Structure 1
């Protein structure tokens, strides 16, 4: 069976895990945490970075840092992972869902402004598949209405908008290092704080609401409880694993680019441009499509995080999933529209009646193909 994802190992993970053990500090905010955070700050010109146990935790840190309160409103795409909205709902915010574009699952920037009210506290820009939102439009809205712009860059490591790294636009940005991401440590995330005025408080929230980090730096004689917070720090073992990945980021991106471009070339009829994927595999994908009607494909590469197909109906997608499974290939769909979720029906039922056909179409018809570093080798070996 060809899996949908297989976590990539660079070969240096074991060495760095052993080094972390030898250094004797495993609980977080140690040697490898600092290396990872500095990597992002220097490589992508980010503000202060804080490694977290997940992107979910990074978003929950953001909600605490921005003092989200009951009655506040936060604008979030309907087609996204639940954490994009849940982090703010946890603080009592009402979620205002924005529609996807007609031709791409990312949020439709042209439909954001009509959702803004005097209660709007933040806009969450989710960079689906590492493809950037129009940050010019969203930044203008942020400035015009004095609304905080947050980037949910879970899928967008090493992705850019007009030459500037995603994660460097909003006051805050959240990344994921889950095993399905381009670089990973099993489970992990990061909060980027681009507003210098928020850094000191972010560190306190990160350290369970205490000023322990200042104590460890020798700046104070004892630490105390200063603010709300939680156990957000990533362990040193995971940070060591992640650093091995970051050292190989360029090579990982190059490999994923070649795979993505093979998919794109094959399905757009440029079959003479295939680089790494076996023709037999691509022919199998095409053979299984027979009789399933017209199928669309992802055309924007982003950071080569994923490649999707788009069927006309949900039952056609399911038929293709089954055909591929019978041939030993696992393909999976993606998000279910949050505005139709059971939670929203109960929590803010007026949102449930909203008609967001584009988001619903991607929920029903989008299918992701396997895309991971070792994919070409596995196909040759199988």
Structure 2
């Protein structure tokens, strides 16, 4: 029996709600299911406004427009991230300034950020890798000191939290000015493709709706706030269809069940592999005291690329498909000549040494563990 890296989990209600959406004769988005999903996030996580999008990439692109990124502006983000994090800002003309990862975690090293800030810096984009929080107190203090925007890339961070120095537990995505989430089929909660922009600074709410609706004030028109709608700003077709929202609603109804199972699998991996990891000088995931674990990803950090290749091949021979993750963006063919030449040693280490193990609701985790231990 093959064990794939990922298998989308269906709760059983997805097609039922899609059928409802089809029969509502309102398929083009911003209907009943869109509103239900957005309200769920606003109510449960304290986001001031949520807008579903067709992808996390779209949500990031909306954020770049909202904070008015202009050619020449600088945006600080980790190099160890998916290309969409950078692309959204590059499309507006920004120069990306890459931060190194922590020595023991793929999240960016917040102690290095202030040295990267210049008069051209416009924003910091923390990526909460594996759903584990960056040190948001440090980031928000820097943003306040230097008048910067913070856009949280919370693609992997649904239902994960950060506890700051004030002792208050806050949902990831609710701390920065804006945040982007993903519902891609590899995430905890899915809609095939799909995403969401969370808006925490009220100054962006009205304009976000306009950008979301192709640059028109269509949403205000349907609420009866204007007597006609027209083109008032730049924008694009960012909102998803009701079919995507209907699928997502079935997942959100089962959020607690899905999260409980994923965290259980994560804990099984951790508890049963920790002695093996020590013996083989392999690092297991670290969750800082200020962060929670949402069971998004379980990964190993090997000693070197040779050890990683050996483990991946051994798993593949047992029909278990693990994968490595990001290639450092600062060394990518597109950006290598634009990078300022700084060595990002920790980022490169994770590029060469990190393995993501299978993690999905119906996973036979014992088989994976047994194969690794053998």
The aligned counterpart of 2:180 is 174
1:78-157 aligned within 5 A? 78-157=79-158
* Residue of structure 2 in register with 1:296 after alignment: 283
2:356 aligns with 368
In the aligned structure 2, how far is the partner of 1:204 from the partner of 1:361?
42
Structure 2 counterparts to residues 159-198 of structure 1, below 5 A: 159-162=160-163, 163-198=169-204
Tell me the alpha carbon deviations over residues 77-100 of structure 1, each in whole angstroms, 9 at most, x when there is no partner: 010111111100111000000000
| Contact 1:159 1:302 (C-alpha < 8 Å) held by counterparts | yes
Identify the range of structure 1 (370-379 vs 3-12) with the bigger mean alpha-carbon deviation. Answer: 370-379
TM-score (normalizing by structure 2): 0.93
Aligned to 2:301: 310
The alpha-carbon deviation at position 51 of structure 1 amounts to 0.2
- Give the Cα–Cα distance (whole angstroms) in 2 for the partners of residues 67 and 19 of structure 1: 39
**Cα displacement string for residues 30-52 of structure 1 (whole angstroms, at most 9, x for unaligned residues):** 10000000000000011100000
CA distance in 1, matches of 2:141, 2:77: 17
Residue by residue, what CA displacement relative to the aligned partner does 1:260-318 show, whole Å, maximum 9, x if unpaired?
Answer: 0000001124xxxxxxxxxxxxxxxx6xx9xx952221132621100001111112211
1:195-228, Cα deviation, whole Å (9 max, x unpaired): 1111000000000011111122222222111111
Q: What's the counterpart of residue 166 of structure 2?
A: none
- Name structure 1 gaps, 5 residues minimum: 270-285
| Aligned equivalents of 1:254, 1:74: Cα separation in 2 | 36
In the alignment, the residues of structure 2 paired with residue 345 and residue 102 of structure 1 have an alpha-carbon distance, to the nearest angstrom, of 22
Does residue 58 in structure 1 map to residue 59 in structure 2?
A: yes
Q: Distance in 2 between matches of 1:84 and 1:13?
A: 29
Whether the 8 Å contact between 1:82 and 1:338 is mirrored in structure 2 is yes
Report the alpha carbon displacement of residue 374 of structure 1 after superposing the two structures with TM.
Answer: 0.6
Q: Which residue of 2 aligns with 1:338?
A: 329
Tell me how far apart the structure 2 counterparts of residues 105 and 341 of structure 1 sit (CA, whole Å): 17
Select which of 185, 205, 212 maps to 1:206: 212
5+ residue gaps, structure 2, are 164-168, 369-374
Cα distance in 2 between the residues matched to 1:212 and 1:24: 19
Q: CA RMSD in A?
A: 1.7
* Counterpart in the other structure of 1:261: 267
Equivalent pairs counted in the alignment come to: 358
**Matches of 1:268 and 1:365 in 2, distance apart?**
17
Q: Does 1:358 align with 2:359?
A: no
Conserved? CA contact 2:268–2:365, under 8 Å: no
